[in-house]
Amino acid sequence: MKKLKLFIISASFCVFLLPLGSVIAGDGSVLDQSYAVESNTGYGSIGIGGTGQTFTPTYNRVTSIDVYFKHRQTGTSVTMTVKNFASKQVIGSETHVLTFAGDAAWEPFVFENSLVVTPETTYAFYLSSNIDNQTYWMTGTDGVTYSRGVALTGDEQAPVGADRLFKQYGKDVATTTSGTTPTAPTTTKTATKATTIATAPVVAPSVLAVPTNFKVDRNQDEQIVFSWDKNKEADLAGYVMYIYEAQKAVETEIIDIPDKQLDNYNLVLADHPSLKLNQDYDVKLAAKNAGGSVSEKTLSLRVKFNPKATVAATQVKESKWNFLTNIYFLTGIGLLLILLIVLVVYLERKYHGLRKLFKKKDETAAVPKES
């Protein structure tokens, strides 16, 4: 009996020692970052355009992220995309098809392979759906904020106090280098390095300058020419162009421009099947270096492809009309010449006939009469 009491007391003491609000999962992950104020909240539809939230993890792995939905529409496909906020490089994503329609509840997005992150670095996750629907992501109210991140609308910060409700779980994983023994994570959560990872590598925060004077030089015939002032960094390796459908958070296309000497790029609609005519796009530019670092992006340019001009067809039509006009003119001249010739022939014949007639009369008058 005494042993049983001692066991209960020990177990209670151990539970008490757990950090308040921490949850330990079966894979060893714990609640790392969260903003989970479930009262006095607002909400917004995630829709096709997508909304997001930044966060700053303290562990070197992200295992899952829960979000708080006000209402879920059955059959909606919702995708969570996680990026390094500075470089905008995607480090992982997870898609759910919602099977339960109901009131407010937490929806977990568990990553098949935990995402490799650098502690104390800002990351962002975005939610987008395949249709505009009535799936709402709960937000905080004005004056209540998450101190280690901000709410996002696209890539821009949403109004202060509108942080999205979420719970991010993580863990520390020992890293190994070939020929060495595993290294345990430090308690100060410093960045670690792995030789093999299941997700895309994290790009270090960039020290490159943002390209300047980014503008549209020409937009015609389904081609848009962008230009900018060349960066001057010694290790500059080129540029990266990011194209988004207007007001959407996830890129429609990312174009690598590997020539550092270039200060312009001709975006041809026919070369990019994912782009459409008569669609508004937001285009941003960043510089990159040989080490893989990427600068912050420029402010976006709102563009739309102008259709091919119909000048050629108009010119053909005009040429045809001129040709026909020339035919009519020449035909008229020819008819006039024919009429003139006929008139001349007629007058000449008539003139010679009269002349002969007058000549005969003169000859008759000149003969003397016999007496």
Q: What are the pLDDT digits (tens) for 329-349?
A: 788 888 899 988 988 888 777
What is residue 26's predicted lDDT score, i.e. its pLDDT? 57
CA atoms within 13 A on the CB side of 85: 23
R_g over Cα of the chain: 41
Question: pLDDT value at position 197?
Answer: 32
Q: pLDDT for 171-208, tens place per residue?
A: 998 865 444 555 555 444 333 333 333 334 444 444 78
Q: What is the DSSP string of 250-284?
A: S-SEEEEE--TT--EEEEEGGG-TT--TT--EEEE
- With 0.85 as the threshold, say if the pTM is over it: no
Could you report the per-residue pLDDT of 29-64, keeping only the tens digit for each? Answer: 899 999 888 766 677 777 665 688 899 999 999 999
CB contact set of 116 (below 8 Å; sequence gap of 6+): 60, 61, 91, 194, 197, 198, 199, 201, 202
SS (H, E, C) 117-163: CCCCCCEEEEEEECCCCCCEEEECCCCCCCCCCCEEECCEECCCCCC
Residue 52, beta-bridge partner list: 126, 152
Cβ atoms of 254 and 292 within 8 Å: the answer is no
Here the tokens at position 213 are 């004077």
- Model pLDDT, residue 331: 86
Q: pLDDT at position 263, please?
A: 94
Model pLDDT, residue 195: 31
User: What is the pLDDT at residue 204?
Assistant: 43
Three-class secondary structure of residue 50 per DSSP: coil
Helix (H) or strand (E) holding 242: strand 236-245
At position 148, the amino acid (one-letter code) is R
Q: What is the DSSP string of 156-221?
A: EEPPTT-PBPEEEEEE---B--TTS--BPPPTT------S--SSPPPPPPP-SPPPEEEEEEEEET
CATH class of 212-303: mainly beta
Q: 17-171 is classed in which CATH architecture?
A: Sandwich (2.60)
All residues at 6 or more sequence positions from 212 whose CB lies less than 8 Å from its CB, including other chains: 228, 229, 298
Residue 201 structure tokens: 């590598």
Using DSSP's 3-state secondary structure scheme, residue 107 falls into: strand
Q: State the distance between the two ends of the chain, measured CA to CA, in whole angstroms.
A: 193
pLDDT at residue 132, as a whole number:
61
Spatial distance between the Cα atoms of 151 and 140, rounded to a whole number of angstroms: 10
- Coil, helix or strand for 11? helix
Backbone angles phi, psi at 340, to 5 degrees: -65, -45
Q: Take residue 61 and report the two structure tokens written for it.
A: 């792995």
- Stretches where the chain sits below pLDDT 50 are 4-24, 177-179, 186-206, 312-320, 371
